[in-house]
Structure 1
Amino acid sequence: MRKIILVALTLMVGATFNSVKAQQLNTRIDSLSYFVGMAQTQGLLDYLKNRQHMDIDCMDDFILGLREAFASSSDHHKAAYFMGTQIGQQIANQMLPGINKEIYGNDSTKSISTDLFLSGFISGTNGRGGLVTVKEANEKAQTLMKEVKTEQALLKYGDNKKAGEDFLKTNAKKKDVKTLPCGVQYKVLKEGKGALPTSSQKVKVNYEGRTVDGHVFDSSYQRGQPTEFRCNQVIKGWTEALTHMPLGSEWEVYIPYELAYGENGAGNDIKPFSMLIFKIELLEIIDK
């Protein structure tokens, strides 16, 4: 079926642009010109359908645009116009959907203002009428993007944030729980007597991680093998705990979301704003 469609498309393109018959290929260069032109269309149909989301039923319009652009290739004004239409399509079909997905996730009912986006894009492109410089716009966009993403995440995961905060508040009142200056809480399960690792040292640990509802999302115990890493190559809460943890210790560590995976979460198991609980055994400081 795909071959039939491709053959039909090839015939349509040929008829619309310049129909060529075999007897018109009088010289080797004639044949080379025709066949090399056709060869360049390999993968074009898939590209137009799947990457550019073009309606293949509008192929005649595509060919008209192709002819006009080809005939006007030396006209700088026309070239600029066609480039504008190309960029406009990329904005509408790729750039804006990508930005909206970054902010709103899979909620297709929400979008930033397309009119204001286009106004800002045009001002940045032609250098006229901009409210700020492009550099300033980039800085403001990053700040606002983070704020809006956080607001959207809170709407969806606010209960998860509150559950973690409530847990830490209650947990801090327990006699056997201590709190580091950074906010990480811990309970000593086994007192170690060895050295404290520095943030740059490599350590060997056994651990189990779970969320506030008790779901185990990672465990070296289940894998049957300890893990090695440098203390500064993990989440901040781990770094803080390990550098206060004597060799040979076993702790239960309670990490606020800000020192874990923040408002973004990680994968499917760790939601945004997740406070995390770890059982950690410090087995070895590898580079002393």
Structure 2
Amino acid sequence: MKKTLFLALTILASSICASATSKADKNKKNIATTVLTNQTDSISYAAGVNATSGLLPFLQQQYGVDTAHIVDFIKGFNEAESKINTPEGKAYIAGMDIAKMVAERIIPGTQEQEFKGSNITLDPKSFNAGFTAQLTKDTTIFTFKEAKDFKKDILSAAGEKFLSENAKQPGIKILPDGLQYKVLTQGTGETPKENDECEVVYEGKLIDGTVFDSTKKHGSTTDKFRPGQVIKGWKEALCMMPVGSKWELYIPEELGYGERATGPIPAYSPLVFTVELVGITHPEEKKDDNKVTEKTESNVKSASKTTPTTTGKSVNKTVNKSKIKVHKQK
């Protein structure tokens, strides 16, 4: 019995050793033997060894490569090395780079910028199918324009519903281009023109009530800008508001930022603004102010030059002081 057990163990041990030897031989066959024949080969090899300093942590942090799969990394490295200078190789490697970019940046960015606030979550597989279809000019499902229009219809639906219901509310006035507004306070002052500088107090909200911008957030009591510097809906409303007015504006996306997502504002978003027009400055008034300032500065310089150092020439000092005083009163 003991002899039989010993014989069985001997056979098992031999089998394990043979298997290990076979695997080792197979691994050796997969490793290319490097032969260094001269100093250039040797120094190049040494430089390659040194160039890997910090590479493994970089692969882990930047690419998420598990060091247990370093053999696969080397396989990809060697394949790229052999193809990198061929037209096919360049296209293949670019495809892999862009695939990584799409997965890590483009899909998350599109989700955040265009679908923020919606109940839509992009499916990567379908996204990539549409992405590659457009590159090969496959219009079986959508042309570029059809895809854009379809996406707009989906993303604009909530905003269009909001504006449609808001239009039925008491006091809402609607302009031909779709701009809606409600007069909270009717001013009696002057109405600004496009190049006038308007002094306003405002607050901007999304249709869900989220405040995305306001004078208060700027840490100031008022903001100043010209109608020509702002979105179409603002420009149109400002040029209709008498000074002293306070209006609530309901701006369709076509008169706002449209398909362009801006900061916290998603694409295709209607915007709600409360705007109070405090005052107006005309361009010619600003020019006149500048002239007065320049003249005052000139008189100040004149005063400093003619101020006497002796009491015998006090007339110039008196006259120039008078000039300065007059400008201060203005």
Taking structure 1 as the reference length, what is the TM-score of the superposition? 0.62
Matches within 5 A, 1:182-193: 182-184=177-179, 185-187=181-183, 189-193=185-189
Q: Report the identity percentage.
A: 25
Q: 1:208 aligns with which of 203, 210, 226?
A: 203
Deviations 1:201-254 (A, max 9, x none): 4433222234556554433146333112232222211011112223x2322132
Q: Residue 213 of structure 2 aligns with which residue? A: 218
Q: Residue 61 of structure 1 aligns with which residue? A: 72
Contact 2:212–2:264 (CA under 8 A) maintained in structure 1: no
Q: RCO higher in 1 or 2 (8 Å CA, sep ≥ 6)?
A: 1
Tell whether 2:106 aligns with 1:107.
no
Alignment root-mean-square deviation, CA: 4.3
Contact 1:205–1:284 (CA under 8 A) maintained in structure 2: no
Q: Residue 250 of structure 1 aligns with which residue? A: 245
Tell whether 2:259 aligns with 1:285.
no
Seen in structure 2, the aligned counterparts of structure 1 residues 212 and 85 have a Cα distance that, compared at 3 Å, is closer
Displacement, 1:150?
2.1
Contact 2:192–2:198 (CA under 8 A) maintained in structure 1: no
CA distance in 2, matches of 1:205, 1:116: 46
Q: Residue 7 of structure 2 aligns with which residue? A: none
Deviations 1:5-59 (A, max 9, x none): xxxxxxxxxxx67779xxx8x96x6775345434544665466445555454332
CA distance in 1, matches of 2:154, 2:124: 11
Q: 2:89 aligns with which of 60, 82, 88?
A: 82
CA distance in 2, matches of 1:144, 1:96: 24
Tell whether 2:39 aligns with 1:37.
no
CA distance in 2, matches of 1:266, 1:71: 44
CA distance in 2, matches of 1:67, 1:215: 53
CA distance in 1, matches of 2:196, 2:274: 20
Seen in structure 2, the aligned counterparts of structure 1 residues 146 and 97 have a Cα distance that, compared at 3 Å, is farther
Q: Matched residue of 1:169: which SS? A: coil
Q: Residue 237 of structure 1 aligns with which residue? A: 233
Which runs of no fewer than 5 residues in structure 1 stay unpaired?
1-15, 125-129, 132-139
Deviations 1:113-136 (A, max 9, x none): 645654553x47xxxxx77xxxxx
Seen in structure 2, the aligned counterparts of structure 1 residues 151 and 214 have a Cα distance that, compared at 3 Å, is closer
Contact 1:161–1:275 (CA under 8 A) maintained in structure 2: no
Seen in structure 2, the aligned counterparts of structure 1 residues 287 and 40 have a Cα distance that, compared at 3 Å, is farther
Letter in 2 for 1:153: L
Seen in structure 2, the aligned counterparts of structure 1 residues 168 and 262 have a Cα distance that, compared at 3 Å, is farther
Seen in structure 2, the aligned counterparts of structure 1 residues 215 and 64 have a Cα distance that, compared at 3 Å, is closer
Q: Residue 137 of structure 1 aligns with which residue? A: none
Contact 2:187–2:241 (CA under 8 A) maintained in structure 1: no
Deviations 1:235-282 (A, max 9, x none): 211011112223x23221322322234466654477854341313224
CA distance in 2, matches of 1:260, 1:91: 32
Q: Matched residue of 1:245: which SS? A: coil
Letter in 1 for 2:230: V
Displacement, 1:86?
1.2
Q: Residue 101 of structure 2 aligns with which residue? A: 94
Displacement, 1:112?
3.1
CA distance in 2, matches of 1:80, 1:275: 49
CA distance in 2, matches of 1:163, 1:266: 20
Seen in structure 2, the aligned counterparts of structure 1 residues 111 and 239 have a Cα distance that, compared at 3 Å, is farther
Q: Residue 3 of structure 1 aligns with which residue? A: none
Taking structure 2 as the reference length, what is the TM-score of the superposition? 0.56
Q: Residue 320 of structure 2 aligns with which residue? A: none
CA distance in 1, matches of 2:122, 2:92: 25
Q: Residue 163 of structure 2 aligns with which residue? A: 164
Which runs of no fewer than 5 residues in structure 2 stay unpaired?
1-30, 285-330
Q: Residue 155 of structure 2 aligns with which residue? A: 153
Deviations 1:92-111 (A, max 9, x none): 33236755552784724464
